[in-house]
Structure 1
Amino acid sequence: MRTTTIKIAPLAFGIIWLAGSWNAGLAAETKYDPGASDTEIKIGNIMPYSGPASTWGEMGKIEAAYFEKVNAEGGVNGRKIKFISYDDAYSPPKTVEQARRLVESDQILLLFSPFGVPTNTAIHKYMNGKKIPQLFIGGGGSKWNDPKKFPWTMGFQPSFLDEGKAYAQYVANAHPDGKIAVLYQHDDYGKDVLAGLKLGLGAKASMIVGEASYEVTEPTIDSQVVRLKASGAGIFMNFAGPKFAAQAIRKIAELNWKPVHIVNIPASQIGSVMKPAGLDISQGLISGGFVKDATDPGMADDPGVKRYLAFIKQYYPGADVTAGTNALGYILAQVMVHVLKAAGDDLTRENIMRQATNIKDLEVDMLLPGIKVNTRPDEFAPVRSIQLRKLVGDRWVPFGPVIEPVDEK
């Protein structure tokens, strides 16, 4: 059973799963940093529960549910997880405020799965200056893989740079004479995917004939889509957030434009993007992926999917099983628990990072077949492989081989 405390403030609320006392007969030799004790491990989290990226707030809710499951089963090495999650409304200044609150007031051991590239950028130096792990960021910024300059920060999913390279590899092979138009969010997130596309195209970067960006505060991107159609492109790269990606899908249909349409991973959700945009006009869209689709009939007998669905039924009933955000939150929580278990009774921040940077061929329930978690002290990118998928009906159907990133020399 869980006790939930909700703290409400302007644009901020906390979801705190309080751990009960637990006497586990710990070994005599234990090491703790602030946030860890014989009975609990404090994990901090920052999510956009409100604001323009609120769709992604579901990740925080399912992570909380997974830690509830872990606690119900006895915790991690006898310790319960206390998960403290605050809202930043996808606003970098608010992210700074909430990070300071978690570190200086709540005294967390580590920050887990904070969402967003611009938001995590705002606290990047702060977390490293404090030497507090900033682990498994929910956002594919390539900057999270920089162990020399930022040894306390690690992403998880394929970086937006790698994602852009994967799309470049696909269009260069499948549409070598094509013309590309790109819509992208005007921040580190959108710029990273665009940069990866250009790096992957290399000498063929001239295929890009139109670019248009938008700010998350804009009400619509209709005018940008109109301009991109006028470029004469037959390939449309939709590097947008969920709300704007759906707008672009609708506008393209309204204009009777029929390009090869590629939408990036963060905006590939069936429930929050494709259905609101219109499944009928979304057919044939292409996206990358690394997460299993729990509704795929071909996955019905997959043991990992079965465990995921059983978890949803018991600990988060009513959750949208079509949402990749939920599957990703589940994956991240599983990997976080793996790291905590490996840390044993040495719950120092230094040892947490040591375990997080020495993961070898870890398979978790909802990663696609052939995709595993691997890290090294000099390689902070847990997942780099990408599987291309095409929207058929109400699900993504994988096609082609798993794409491994090619690093420029």
Structure 2
Amino acid sequence: MFFDQPLSRLRALALCAACCAGGGAQADILIGQTTAVSGSVAASVGEALQGVRAYLDHVNAQGGVNGEKIKLITLDDNFKPPLAGENARKLIEQEGVVALFMSRGTPHTEAILPLLAKHKLALIAPSTGAMVFHRPVNPYVFNVRSSYQAESKRAVEHLFQVSLQRVAVVHVDDSFGADCLEGGMHGFDSAGKKPVAVVKAAREKPDYAAIIQQLKQAEAQAVLWCGSGLAVVDGVKALRQAGSAAQVVTLSNNASSGFVKQLGEYATGVIVSQVFPNARALGVPINREATTLLAGQAELSPASIEGFAAAKVLVEALRRAGPKPTREKIIDALNGMQRYDLGGLELAFSPTDHTGLNYVELSIIGRDGRFRR
């Protein structure tokens, strides 16, 4: 169960992705996380945390890392950037975590950056593909997924490849949306085309009537829609209710079964970019491993496989850092992780490259509510 409580209560109720077996024994390695347990992206965050817990529970059940158990302290930021920054400060300065892990959202993660530099600790696997976390290389941010720009570029290129000519972009009016738009424009440039409309959507309360009117006036055949899960869901519903059959493409931040359920009858045919292999591709070793550890708990989804992969990178960094890992040792271990097999996916970090993985493909939601490649 998740809680949105003051820190004093959260310390007792915090989500421990892996608790010590038996008694009230304390975990040895403290890892901090601020993420949207509640709010507009809570569905996909919950699925990601299922993957995280499955792997960390498994590792702790085997004795932990170098004989030490891992405790993940998760604070809810309700998908609000200022709260994400405050949560990170509490985790670092009051809880004394040795690393931060899997924050969610672009402006939310940007709010954490000054704290990383001040306290010199790593943020591992932020759940955002914003280019600001890739280039220039931030010495404290270690990504475990491709960039949003790579995704949006690929999405736009695909739309022109399938002979759709009138393509529009709707993007949330924040740093994530600007990043998505920049990548999309690279796709337009490579196709020698221009968007028929570029529409900004307010982050808190999008004016869907005005957005849909602009799309209809532009006679858009397809829309690259960049926003949070609920924002895109409401946008797709408004578009369809207005009588438009335009193809909708969105990014991997919405690659979750929760997103599909929220779309309901409007889900079929929506394209979602992916940064990990199809969860049902059991020929991929990491998928087989995750499916086994999640058995009886949850079905593997794009969001849960991202959480699972992120947890594997965290554990490997702790293993390489040695007993009693410090903030400095963890950063050194990550920078030395130049070839690490996640299970059919090779991740690489170095002091000059913190992207980790370069994997992008597109999926479409089928009539059965599943992502198909």
Query: What range is the shorter-chain TM-score in?
Result: 0.7 to 0.9
Corresponding residue of 2:351:
377
Structure 1 residues 205, 193: closer, same or farther in 2, change over 3 A? farther
Give yes or no for contact 2:188–2:195 (8 Å, CA) kept in 1. no
CA deviation after TM superposition for structure 1 residue 220, in Å: 5.9
CA contact (8 A) 1:60 1:85 kept: no
2:372 aligned with 1:397: yes
Q: 2:293 aligns with which of 305, 311, 317?
A: 311
* Residue 264 (structure 2) aligns with: 278
Which residue in the other structure is 1:9 paired with?
6
The match for 2:34 is 46
Q: 1:204-240 CA deviation, whole Å, 9 max, x = no partner? A: 5652011222233216634312321221221211212
Indicate the residue corresponding to 1:347 in structure 2.
Answer: 325
The 5 A counterparts of 1:138-153 are: 138-146=127-135, 150-153=138-141
> Could you list the per-position Cα deviations for residues 160-179 of structure 1 after superposition, in whole angstroms to 9, with x for gaps in the alignment?
1221222233234443x712
- 1:154 aligned to 130, 138, 142, which one? 142
Q: Is the CA contact 1:47–1:115 (under 8 Å) kept in the aligned structure 2?
A: yes
List alignment gaps of at least 5 residues for structure 1: 23-37, 399-409
Amino acid in the other structure paired with 1:153: V
Cα distance in 2, alignment partners of residues 204 and 218 from structure 1: 33
The aligned runs of 1:157-176 (5 Å cut-off) are: 157-175=145-163
Equivalent of residue 95 in structure 1, options 84, 90, 102: 84
Q: In the TM superposition, what is the alpha-carbon distance from 1:48 to its structure 2 partner? A: 0.7
What is the CA distance between 1:16 and its match in structure 2?
4.8
Counterpart AA for 2:371: W
Instruction: Could you list the structure 1 runs, at least 4 aligned residues long, displaced by more than 6 angstroms after superposition.
Output: 4-7
Give the match for residue 210 of structure 2.
223
- Report the equivalent of 1:188: 175
Give ranges in structure 2 of 5+ residues lacking alignment.
none
Q: Which amino acid aligns with 2:171?
A: Y
Matched, 1:289 2:270: no
Range that drifts further, 255-264 or 190-199: 255-264
Mapped pair 1:56 → 2:44: yes
Distance 1:338 1:162 in 2: 26
Q: Which residue of 1 aligns with 2:194?
A: 207
**Offset of 1:53 from its aligned partner?**
2.4
TM-score (norm. length: structure 1): 0.80
Give aligned-pair identity as a percent: 21
Question: How many Å apart are 1:201 and its aligned residue?
Answer: 2.5
1:27 corresponds in structure 2 to none
Task: Confirm or deny: 8 A CA contact 1:49 1:56 kept in the other structure.
Answer: no
1:388 alignment counterpart: 362
Change (3 A) 1:193 1:293: same
- Contact kept? 1:39, 1:78, Cα under 8 Å: no
Give the 3 Å change call, closer, same or farther, for CA 21–182 of structure 1 in structure 2.
closer
| Pairing 1:228-377 to 2, within 5 Å after superposition | 228-269=215-256, 271-279=257-265, 281-294=266-279, 296=280, 299=281, 303-313=285-295, 317=297, 319=298, 321=299, 323-345=301-323, 347-365=325-343, 371-377=345-351
Aligned partner of residue 372 in structure 2, secondary structure: strand
Instruction: Tell me, in whole angstroms, the C-alpha distance in 2 between the residues paired with 1:246 and 1:6.
Output: 25
Residue 81 of structure 1 pairs with residue 81 of structure 2: no
The 8 Å contact of residues 222 and 247 in structure 1, kept in 2 or not, is answered as no
- Deviating more after overlay: 164-173 vs 206-215: 164-173
CA distance in 1, matches of 2:175, 2:263: 25
Check whether the contact 1:373–1:383 (CA below 8 A) recurs between aligned residues.
Answer: yes
Give the CA RMSD over aligned residues.
2.9
Whether the 8 Å CA contact 1:183–1:225 is kept in 2: the answer is no
Cα pair distance change 1:268/1:112, threshold 3 Å: closer
